[in-house]
Amino acid sequence: MLDIKSLRRPLLATVLAAALTGGALPVLAAPADDLRLAVELDNGYEVRKLLSRGVDPNLTDRRGDPLLVAALREKSLKAAEALIEAKNLDFDKTNAAGETALMMACLQGQLDMVKRMVGQRQVEINKTGWTPLHYAATNGHLEIVRYLLEESAYVDAESPNGTTPLMMATRGGHIETVKLLLDEGADIRIRNQQGMTAIDFAERYNQPEIAQGLRSRWQKQFPDTPMDGGKGKGKAGW
């Protein structure tokens, strides 16, 4: 049988020797470091245990990212679930790139995490600048885009340079996401600060099928508005 007392004696002797000689005490992990490690190892049980003891869920990892942002980035979803449950978690806390936990979950395609944050914790979807909808559209996560729109995400949200979710979905070649955004009212005529419409994005990033569909949609909706960036007429379909 393991003798716990025998394990304690060497540590106690070390501590007493250090105290008598003026030496340094052995370094023990702080609770904050324990939480960081638990998140890194995706140990949801340990995360919950440490949070119940009062460890701050708003700590950052070694890269300076909030722990929840880091957990979602690294797909440590058990740890993320535990952090989302923390009553005093600041969901608006961002990393150096201005990304929130909700934005990271949208980028990674983690629909369940998105629903936990929006549905259970009432995390705000709309914000100034880049939004969760931009991030979901960028990678063509159709069901997340659909869910965000159902939860009143602003379909024509503009980034700091005026880029919309429609433009990001177009750039990535995500046809079904582009169609959904258009069906939900995305304005195809919007130009960003570089003067580019979604059609211009399609042409610049070599998405001919989307470019054709966007031109077709434009002609149907706005027959009297010229497409300055459009090259030729679109065929029927979109």
pLDDT in tens, 190-211: 999 999 999 999 999 999 999 9
The one-letter code for the residue type at 1 is M
Q: Which structural domain, as residue segments, surrounds residue 60? A: 30-97
Buried b (16+ CB within 10 A) or exposed e, 37-50: ebbbebbbebbbeb
Mean pLDDT of the 5-19 span:
47
Rounded to an integer, what distance in angstroms lies between the CA atom of residue 215 and that of residue 181? Answer: 15
Q: Is there a domain that residue 85 lies in?
A: yes
Domains of the chain: total = 1
Q: Is there a domain that residue 131 lies in?
A: no
- Phi/psi of residue 60, each to 5°? -110, 160
Per-residue pLDDT at 226 exceeds 50? yes
Per-residue pLDDT at 43 exceeds 80? yes
Q: Is there a domain that residue 16 lies in?
A: no
Q: Is there a domain that residue 67 lies in?
A: yes
Q: What is the pLDDT of residue 26?
A: 45
Q: Is there a domain that residue 118 lies in?
A: no
Q: Is there a domain that residue 41 lies in?
A: yes
Rounded to an integer, what distance in angstroms lies between the CA atom of residue 179 and that of residue 139? Answer: 14
Per-residue pLDDT at 40 exceeds 90? yes
Per-residue pLDDT at 4 exceeds 90? no
Q: Output the domain CATH number for residue 92.
A: 1.25.40.20
pLDDT digits (tens, 9 = 90+) for 67-124: 999 999 999 999 999 999 999 999 999 999 999 999 999 999 999 999 999 999 999 9
